[in-house]
Amino acid sequence: MFSGIVAFVLPNGIGKQRRQLLENQLVKNGAALATDLLTATHVFADDDLPADRIDFATLPECVSVLRTRWISHSLKSKQRVTDCASYQIEQPVKKERTSLKHHLDDTESESKPNGASSKEEDAKDATAATTADTDGPSPTKRPRHFICETSSSDASAASQRVNHNEHITSQLQILADGYKSTNDKWRALSYEKAIETLKHLPRRIESREDCVGLRTIGARLAEKIWEICESGSLRKADEFAHNDKVVAMNLFANIWGVGPTVAEQWYVQGLRTLDDVREKAHLTRQQKIGLEHYDDINQRMPRQEATEIVNVVIDAIRAINPNLIAVACGSYRREKETCGDVDILITHKDGHSHENILGELVANLTQQGFLTDDLVESNIDGNQHKYMGLCRLPGENRHHRRIDIITIPYDQYATSLIYFTGSAHFTRSIYAKAKSMGMRLNQHGLRGGVMRQGGEQLNDGYPIETPTEESVFEALGLPYRTPPERDHP
């Protein structure tokens, strides 16, 4: 019934038990659960959740945002409801940015979510991490520095890339990974931000006093850091590293199509290894693919292999229409030596010729034997903007690699290039820079005259024409940074 759907059920306003029930029904009837919002094709919100609690601008264009009653009505009628008009959630003009921001890596606002539990003591230590790059300037604070103002290839930046505190960050990373695998995204993000700060310190932390005044480092976290400095380890990290549940959920979460909810269900059912999953778990089609190619998907590929993949896809694009613009983004565009996957962006200067080519392109590449597995099955037409799948180059001993192909309108080309090129740290920073100037930047465009009050955006502002990446940087008063100069960790 729900085949082809990769679903994300927003937790806001939905009890844990009901959310789990909805997710179980989705999976039972053929859907896959998204590991994050960026991989979702459908986002479901509680029937009573106000639309202004959803940050539409951070969602990919192709995602459908529906009320949860769509699931219930489909189940009741024993077939997928095709007329979604009465279930669709439209974007309001006035919206509050609270409900989704801590789920995405590239949001420009990461202030603490409403209803965050007071028991999250570890998260409190890093609260500044989620606001330091996003709040408006304060006359009582020193002038803010944005990482996007600095080239990652500068000598100073290069020196900062030497992690003088690896003995600390490696321990904190264990906690961040553990919280992420158990779906404690807020605490995970807090630790990630603290790790980011420590990695960029030009000196080694030697005492408690060295932590004082550091952005993202609070009193409790400073005590944890000092524990590491004194003993060489962190008791909490040791507990996580040897915790059966955390170890199992980390393992399961690396299966494509498996999120924290499913991983926890498997753990409760007694599953501990990938062999347990193969033998005992009820898997969706996507999860079967993710399990079959587990090692390949979780292994980075050398740049030369990524180049071969890019060339195959671009040749196929040119065969359809030689005037289409195609660019490989992500770590490949930043000229990294290895890549986790390949992201290819497609557009056309006329603003419309890109719209209906994705289906033909996927069919051609599949016929060649290049595309081997579709991770998201859906009707690929003018309204489908993203294909996610696996590919493999011809020849012996070749690996299956993750590939995303995205088509976008030309008027969003420059801002989409920035978004899909990264790094995630650079993107967060340049979005925050725009916000500090009364603007709003995301993959869909740059807008000026955006009014905010507290955590609430009061209007949409006006569009600023940005035909090139250079024009985006110029509008923000930044020197242009080439993709390799944006490789901030």
Residues recorded for the chain:
489
pLDDT at residue 91, as a whole number: 67
DSSP codes, 263-278: HHHHHHTT--SHHHHH
178-205 pLDDT, tens digit each: 888 777 777 888 888 888 888 877 788 8
Question: How far apart are the C-alpha atoms of 329 and 339, rounded to whole Å?
Answer: 10
pLDDT at residue 53, as a whole number: 77
Catalytic residue, chosen from 180, 224, 386, 435, is 224
pLDDT at residue 469, as a whole number: 97
Q: 255-297 in CATH: which number?
A: 1.10.150.20
Residue ranges per structural domain of the chain: 6-96, 255-297, 301-408
- The sheet that has 452-453: what strands, in order across it? 95-96, 456-457, 452-453
Angle at 467 between CA 464 and CA 471, to 5 degrees: 70
435-485 pLDDT, tens digit each: 999 999 999 999 999 998 876 788 989 999 999 999 999 999 999 999 999
DSSP E strand boundaries for 12-52: 32-33, 42-45
Any idea which fold 6-96 has? Rossmann fold (3.40.50)
Question: How far apart are the C-alpha atoms of 167 and 141, rounded to whole Å?
Answer: 31
CATH class of 301-408: alpha beta
The answer to whether residue 224 is catalytic is yes
Is residue 390 helix, strand or coil? strand
- Please count the other Cβ atoms lying within 10 Å of the Cβ belonging to residue 163: 17
- Please count the other Cβ atoms lying within 10 Å of the Cβ belonging to residue 282: 9
Residue with tokens 């990630």: 192
pLDDT at residue 180, as a whole number: 81
Question: How far apart are the C-alpha atoms of 293 and 291, rounded to whole Å?
Answer: 5
The segments of the chain whose pLDDT lies below 70 read 4, 35-39, 56-63, 91-144, 155-161, 212-213, 215, 377-384, 455
pLDDT at residue 395, as a whole number: 93
Helix ranges restricted to H, 233-343: 235-241, 244-253, 260-268, 274-280, 285-292, 294-297, 303-320, 330-333
Largest CA distance in the chain: 64
pTM (predicted TM-score): 0.69
